[in-house]
Amino acid sequence: MSPKYPDKGFVRCIEIEKPVLGNNTSDAQRLEQALKKELGSQGVKIPLYLLKTLPSFLRRWDYKARAVLFKDRQSWRLVALVSPNFIEPDKIQSHQVLGAAIDIGTTRIVIMLLDLESGQTMGETGFDNPQAVIGPDVLARIHHSNQPGGLDQLQKLVVDAVNENLSLLCREKGCETKDIYLVTGAGNTAMTHLFLGIEAFEIIREPYIPCVNIPDTLMAKEVGLEIQTHGLLFLFPNIGSYFGGDLIAGILFAGLDKKQNPCLMVDVGTNAEIVVGSGDWLIACAGAAGPALEGGVSKMGMTAGPGAIDRVTIDRLTRKVAVHTIEEKRPVGICGSGMIDLAAALFLSGMIDIRGKFSRSVCEDRLVEEAGQLSFVLVDKAHSGTGHDITLSQVDLNSLTSSKAAMYTILEVIVKNTSDLEFEDLETFYVAGTFGSFINPDSAISIGMLPDIDRSRFQVLGNSSLGGAALLLRNPSAFDRIMEIRQSITYIELNVNQEFMNMFSGAKFYPHTDRSRFPSVPIDSA
């Protein structure tokens, strides 16, 4: 999945024809000709700020320059002209040409800094989306954006944080924000609107209309990004209120649009966002998979961080529980992947039954009554980092059961009912998202969350939103792919009808009422 670098990138060395008597071609026209020759394209607009000093720079640089460009759906744009010399003869100034890719997540924002000329990654940094102080989710933030000054406040929160972290990252890598000429970003539809300061409240109000699906390329300073004064910002387009640019970036990064055979990509989170298809067709849908998978709702749930239990095994004979925590700190909670591992281990060891209910007889003293709820003690207070037991209540487990059932049902609907495929027809099953990176496919299959296909077909994409945004910075041709992806996707509204509910009911069992669908899950666990 490492990004390729097939086309020549956004920085090009050009040589401009020198002027001669008897030819009234202007400097600007000769520059345009050189760019046309380099790009094989029509009409490159030269911004006024470059025109102002073009005559003297062309002559100082002996009619050579590095052109920093961007290509959007309209045409190629000239962002800047940089000295043809990486280091000036006086050896004082160097001229790097950098880009930054941003994953604008609701919860977390990740920035990658890269060299636009070599395509090399220079560094990466991540931080929590500071809009969380307004509200943890999109809904709360959009409601706030509708208050006087709310939209500006939300935009400022995220843009300021990006500026600060970008500046820190640059300092750490020994470069300067003024050398960043291009920024690409991908986020869901709401985050995209809030990042740009565009009214977002119609997204959540019937008939759920985003203001914009394809934001144009902007001057980065228009939204307050502190990079090169004339640097550009491009945010990935959405398809609708529930299908954002982050997913388009993911499809681009996974290369779904170039596949010969059907593949599937799922981004697991509060919403399960799923795309099935190949170079010929793409079908997408999104559905609420339930918050249990994100670890934000269950009592002991937490996002993946130090001390979070991310792996759980239970010996099927002794029923001895072993946990692994992130950074091997004392356990303080359990993250999404740990939750799936735990449920799988509980099921495979017979500690929960096929309905997902704790078996008192098997769990024995691991089950306690807590605030009127039956809870499973995963780590006792003597071994936890909190001084309290780390437990999983039946209620939390029910929530996970619903989530995994919803996920499986949505997969079933889109693959079987909509695409008329079997899970076995999928060449590759991409799991995207930070959370997805940590899922143990065996566990997810054991609980019936993911289909029981050959494990080698599962491929973890990591932060595919960031990956797609970075891919565009490296490959000008990706822009057309983005627009083609947008065009070729058929977005399916999940129809929660009786048939769906029947499928969902079957999927609420462990792994499923139809055991034949999960041949690799040990039969004795049921």
Rounded-to-integer distance, Cα 129 and Cα 228, Å? 24
Contacts (Cβ under 8 Å, ≥6 apart) of 316: 348, 349, 350
| Window 353-372: residues binding a copy of itself (CB under 8 A) | none
| Window 467-506: residues binding a copy of itself (CB under 8 A) | 491, 493
Q: Is 22 exposed, middle or buried (0-12, 13-18, 19+ CB in 10 A)?
A: exposed
| Window 305-334: residues binding a copy of itself (CB under 8 A) | none
**Distant-in-sequence contacts of 418-421, Cβ < 8 A, 24+ apart:** 418/276, 418/283, 418/285, 418/492, 419/262, 419/276, 419/277, 419/283, 421/262, 421/276
70, 234 in Cβ contact below 8 A? yes
Which listed range, 93-101, 216-224, 395-403, 436-444, lies at the site for a copy of itself (CB under 8 A)?
216-224
Rounded-to-integer distance, Cα 182 and Cα 471, Å? 13
508, 501 in Cβ contact below 8 A? no
Residue listed under structure tokens 């977005």: 491
Closer residue to a copy of itself, CB minimum distance, 196 or 321: 196
Closer residue to a copy of itself, CB minimum distance, 94 or 490: 490
Does residue 61 touch a copy of itself according to CB under 8 A?
no
Does residue 274 touch a copy of itself according to CB under 8 A?
no
Does residue 202 touch a copy of itself according to CB under 8 A?
yes
Rounded-to-integer distance, Cα 139 and Cα 291, Å? 14
| Window 123-182: residues binding a copy of itself (CB under 8 A) | 151
Binding a copy of itself by CB under 8 A: which of 5, 6, 41, 56?
56
Neighbours of 425 (CB within 10 A): 16
Closer residue to a copy of itself, CB minimum distance, 454 or 493: 493
Does residue 19 touch a copy of itself according to CB under 8 A?
yes
β-pairing, 489-491 with 282-288? parallel
Q: How far is the CB of 42 from a copy of itself (least distance, A)?
A: 10
Does residue 209 touch a copy of itself according to CB under 8 A?
yes
Q: How far is the CB of 459 from a copy of itself (least distance, A)?
A: 29
Considering only CA atoms, which of 204, 213, 214, 102 is closest in space to residue 158? 102
Closer residue to a copy of itself, CB minimum distance, 25 or 118: 25
Q: How far is the CB of 245 from a copy of itself (least distance, A)?
A: 13
Closer residue to a copy of itself, CB minimum distance, 132 or 212: 212
Q: How far is the CB of 279 from a copy of itself (least distance, A)?
A: 24
Does residue 456 touch a copy of itself according to CB under 8 A?
no
Does residue 201 touch a copy of itself according to CB under 8 A?
yes
Binding a copy of itself by CB under 8 A: which of 196, 379, 471, 494?
196
How is residue 196 written in tokens? 């740009």
Rounded-to-integer distance, Cα 169 and Cα 112, Å? 9
Q: How far is the CB of 24 from a copy of itself (least distance, A)?
A: 3
Rounded-to-integer distance, Cα 140 and Cα 118, Å? 41
Number of residues lying near a copy of itself (CB under 8 A): 52
**Could you give phi then psi for residue 502, rounded to 5 degrees?**
-65, -45
Q: How far is the CB of 43 from a copy of itself (least distance, A)?
A: 7
Contacts (Cβ under 8 Å, ≥6 apart) of 376: 346, 351, 358, 363, 366, 367, 391, 392, 393, 397
Q: How far is the CB of 162 from a copy of itself (least distance, A)?
A: 17
Which listed range, 50-58, 90-98, 115-123, 130-138, lies at the site for a copy of itself (CB under 8 A)?
50-58
Rounded-to-integer distance, Cα 175 and Cα 354, Å? 57
Q: How far is the CB of 61 from a copy of itself (least distance, A)?
A: 14
Q: How far is the CB of 22 from a copy of itself (least distance, A)?
A: 7
Contacts (Cβ under 8 Å, ≥6 apart) of 80: 50, 67, 68, 181, 228, 230, 231
Closer residue to a copy of itself, CB minimum distance, 46 or 460: 46
Binding a copy of itself by CB under 8 A: which of 1, 12, 28, 121?
28
Rounded-to-integer distance, Cα 239 and Cα 219, Å? 23
Does residue 15 touch a copy of itself according to CB under 8 A?
no
Rounded-to-integer distance, Cα 356 and Cα 346, Å? 9
For binding to a copy of itself (CB under 8 A), which residues are involved? Answer: 19-29, 43, 45-46, 48, 51-56, 73-75, 151, 196-199, 201-202, 206-216, 218, 222-223, 238-241, 243, 491, 493
